[in-house]
């Protein structure tokens, strides 16, 4: 199907690649369908979580271990059940970036990672009860070290 | 808003399957135990609101700002 996106123009997406977020995302409760765009390669460490229901909504996301190598998302058993995760280490974990005009003030929300089960394409943004992770974690310096 | 008085150890039931128990009271802090079906998300309100607001800010991301940053830092 064709999708008019915010950052990539009109793109072709496969139905089978659509990830379902049954609860939407906090603040975007009415958006249930997303696709992952962008390769996780050397060109750029971030990817996009592009909303299918609302093409104007897209989130820049990144593997939190690029920011904190020891990052652990302890997923609550209720969320494991909702996402039907069989092997926790195979779930995809991303954190959402806030990118202001002054990019040195870029932050990542380590407190509320996006968890995706790649085997059934179910996703949820969870809130971590364990671990001392911030909603506004400044990442500019850490990413510059990791990417440069 | 419905206001109910409860003592430590007492509960309230909401609808079919949500139970909230007063587990402990220490000064001005109340510890609540919440039993709810798995599809009902339970969050501390102020944290949930913060995450909603953070997501709204995140959705305003300008792709070119991010792309330029990673190009320039390689």
Contact (Cβ atoms closer than 8 angstroms) between residue A147 and residue B70: yes
Domain residue limits at B32: 11-72
What is the predicted pLDDT for the residue at B73?
55
Please identify which residue in the block is written with the tokens 């399957």: B17
What is the predicted pLDDT for the residue at B66?
72
A89 or B21, which is more confident?
B21
Q: Does residue B3 form part of some domain? A: no
Per-residue pLDDT at A146 exceeds 80: no
What is the predicted pLDDT for the residue at B62?
75
Q: Does residue B1 form part of some domain? A: no
Over residues B15-36, mean pLDDT: 96
What band does B54 get if pLDDT is binned at 50, 70 and 90?
A: very high
Over residues A14-19, mean pLDDT: 93
**Structural domain count of chain B:** 1
pLDDT one-digit tens code per residue, A73-114? 999 888 999 999 998 889 999 999 999 888 889 999 999 999
What band does A140 get if pLDDT is binned at 50, 70 and 90?
A: confident
DSSP-derived letter for residue A5 is: E
Q: Does residue B58 form part of some domain? A: yes
Q: Does residue B38 form part of some domain? A: yes
User: How many CB contacts within 8 angstroms connect chain A with chain B?
Assistant: 89
- Cβ separation of B48 and A127 shorter than 8 Å? yes
> A117: which strand partners?
A122
- Ordered by start, the domain boundaries in chain A are 2-147
- Say whether residue B46 is in contact with chain A using an 8 A CB cutoff: no
Per-residue pLDDT at A125 exceeds 90: yes
- Cβ separation of A98 and B54 shorter than 8 Å? yes
List chain B residues with CB under 8 Å of A111: 47, 51
Q: Does residue B5 form part of some domain? A: no
Contact (Cβ atoms closer than 8 angstroms) between residue B51 and residue A26: yes
pLDDT one-digit tens code per residue, A39-83? 655 567 889 999 999 988 999 999 999 999 999 999 988 899 999
Contact (Cβ atoms closer than 8 angstroms) between residue A39 and residue A17: no
Per-residue pLDDT at A18 exceeds 90: yes
Over residues A105-126, mean pLDDT: 96
State how far the Cα of B52 lies from the Cα of B63, in Å rounded to an integer.
Answer: 21
Nearest neighbour of B65 by CB, restricted to A6, A57, A99: A99
Query: For residue A65, how many C-alpha atoms fall within 13 Å in the half-sphere facing its CB?
Result: 7
- Cβ separation of A125 and B51 shorter than 8 Å? yes
pTM for the predicted model, two decimal places: 0.88
Contacts 24+ apart (CB under 8 A), A3-9: A3/A35, A3/A50, A3/A52, A3/A55, A4/A55, A5/A37, A5/A50, A5/A55, A5/A58, A6/A50, A6/A55, A6/A56, A6/A57, A6/A58, A6/B63, A7/A48, A7/A50, A7/A58, A7/B63, A8/A37, A8/A48, A8/A50
Determine the topology of domain A2-147 in CATH: BH3618-like (2.30.290)
- Cβ separation of B62 and A101 shorter than 8 Å? yes
Nearest-CA distance B36 → chain A (Å): 10
List chain B residues with CB under 8 Å of A98: 54, 57-58, 61
Closest CA to A15 of A28, A30, A34: A34
């Amino acid at each position: 199907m064709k999708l008019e996106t915010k950052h990539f123009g009109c793109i072709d997406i496969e139905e089978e690649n659509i990830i379902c977020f049954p609860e939407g995302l906090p603040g975007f409760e009415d958006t249930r369908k997303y696709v992952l765009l962008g390769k996780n390669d050397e060109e750029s460490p971030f990817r996009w979580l592009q909303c299918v229901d609302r093409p104007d909504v897209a989130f820049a996301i990144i593997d939190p271990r690029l920011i904190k190598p020891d990052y652990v998302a302890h997923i609550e058993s209720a969320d494991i059940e909702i996402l039907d995760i069989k092997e926790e280490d195979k779930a995809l974990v991303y954190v959402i970036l806030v990118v202001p005009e002054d990019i040195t003030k870029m932050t990542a929300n380590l407190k509320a990672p996006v968890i995706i089960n790649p085997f059934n394409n179910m996703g949820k943004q969870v809130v971590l009860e364990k671990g001392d992770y911030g909603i506004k974690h400044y990442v500019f310096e850490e990413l510059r070290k990791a990417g440069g | 808003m419905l206001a109910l008085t409860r003592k430590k150890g007492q509960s309230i039931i909401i609808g079919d399957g949500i139970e909230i128990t007063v587990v402990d009271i220490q000064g001005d802090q109340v510890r609540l135990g919440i039993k709810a079906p798995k599809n009902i998300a339970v969050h501390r309100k102020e944290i949930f609101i913060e995450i909603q607001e953070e997501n709204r800010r995140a959705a305003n991301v300008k792709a070119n700002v991010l792309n330029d940053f990673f190009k320039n830092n390689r």
